[in-house]
Structure 1
Amino acid sequence: MTREIKGWHVFTCFAVAFGIIIAVNLVLAVNAVRTFPGLETANSYVASQRFEADRDAQDALNWDVSAQVSGGKLYLRVIEDGAPVSPEIESAVFGRATSVARDQTPDFRWTGDALVADVAAGPGNWNLRLEARAADGTLFKQRVIVKVAE
C-alpha cells in the first residue's frame, strides 16, 4: 500500500524546515548581540580626524611591544631602540577577544626588563588592550595578542 503525498504534507515539511532555520538564526543573532562588548568610540568622525596624527606620533616612539603569560603572570615588554622601557600604563585590560565576561585589569610592576602582573588565564588566545604614555607625553594604544599554551 502506497500513501499519496498531499499538499499539506509538502507544506508541513517546508514549514518545519524553515522554522528550524529561522529559530537557529534567531538564537545566533541574540547571542551575537548579547556578547558584543560595545562601542569602540563615541564619535567615529572625530576619531578619524586625529587618527593619522596619532598613528604617526605612536610610530615615532619606535616601540616594540610584546606580551606573554607564564606561570600565572603576564609579562609585558616594551623595547625602544633595543632597550627595555617602563611607560606609564594609563589603561590595560586583559581578556578574551570575543567576550568581556573574564576581563581583568592587570596591576603591573616594573622588574627592570618587563612589566609583570598576576592574571588568571586559561589556554587559548587572549588580548591585552593597552594604553601607555611615553616619557614625552605621547599616548600609545595597541591591542596585543597573547597566546597562552598552558
Structure 2
Amino acid sequence: MTTSGARRGEFTGRHMAVIMVLFFGTIISVNVLMAYFAESTWSGLVVENSYVASQTFDADTAARRREAARGWQVETGYAGGLFRIDLRDAAGRPVRGAAIAVTIGHPVNANLDRTLTLKSLPGGGYGATTDLTHGRWEARLTVTADDLPPWHRAVRFSVP
C-alpha cells in the first residue's frame, strides 16, 4: 500500500512550481521596472558612433562650459504651426540681430528631423513655420551673434 503526500524533505512538483514562479516573477518584475524607467526618464543622447563621440568629449564639455558662462537663456514655444524661441542674455535683455539655425526632431529618431533658419519676429523673439505632430521634440539651436563663437543649446519640449 502506498501513502499519498510527500515525505518530509522530499522535493515535489509543488516546490518546483514555487521556484519557477519566483524565478520568472523576479525577471518579469525587473523588466517591467526597467521599461518604466526607460520610458519615463531622460531619453539620452543619440550619436552615430559612441566611440568617436567619446574621443572629443573633454573638448566638447569645455566648449559647453564656455557657452554656459555667457548666461544666455532660451525659451521655446510651438503653436499654430509657428516654432518660436525667446533668447535672452545674462541680464535678461533680448538678444537681437542673431543668426539662428535650429534642427528640430524627435530625441531618439532622426527620421523626422528638419532644419530651419529662424527670423526675427515683429513682437520680439525668433521663429519659423513648421508642422510638428504631437509628442516629444528636441530643438538643437546654433546661435551666432556679436562676433562671439557660436552658441549651442538643445531644448526639449512637448507638443500636446
TM-score range, shorter chain: 0.5 to 0.7
Percent identity of equivalent pairs: 21
Q: Which residue in the other structure is 2:116 paired with?
A: 106
1:24-61 CA distances to partner (integer Å, 9 max, x unpaired)? xxxxxxxxxxxxx6527783354223234312311221
* Counterpart check, 1:125 vs 2:136: yes
Structure ID, larger Rg: 2
Query: After the TM superposition, which residues 13-92 of structure 1 pair with which residues of structure 2 at under 5 Å, given as runs?
Result: 38-39=47-48, 43-80=52-89, 81-86=91-96, 87-89=98-100, 91-92=101-102
Return 5+ residue gaps in structure 1 as ranges: 1-36
Query: Normalising by the residue count of structure 1, what TM-score does the alignment of the two structures yield?
Result: 0.64
Return 5+ residue gaps in structure 2 as ranges: 1-45
Count how many residue pairs are aligned between Structure 1 and Structure 2: 112
Q: Which residue in the other structure is 2:105 paired with?
A: 95
Contact 2:104 2:114 in 1 (8 A): yes
Contact 1:68 1:147 in 2 (8 A): no
Q: Which structure exhibits the higher relative contact order, with contacts defined as CA atoms closer than 8 Å and separated by 6 or more residues?
A: 1
Q: CA deviation at 1:109?
A: 0.6
* RMSD of aligned alpha carbons: 2.3
Provide runs of 4+ in structure 1 moved above 3 Å. 40-46
| Cα distance in 1 between the residues matched to 2:71 and 2:142 | 15
Query: Normalising by the residue count of structure 2, what TM-score does the alignment of the two structures yield?
Result: 0.60
Contact 2:99 2:118 in 1 (8 A): no
| Cα distance in 2 between the residues matched to 1:115 and 1:121 | 17
Q: Which residue in the other structure is 1:31 paired with?
A: none
Contact 1:127 1:145 in 2 (8 A): yes
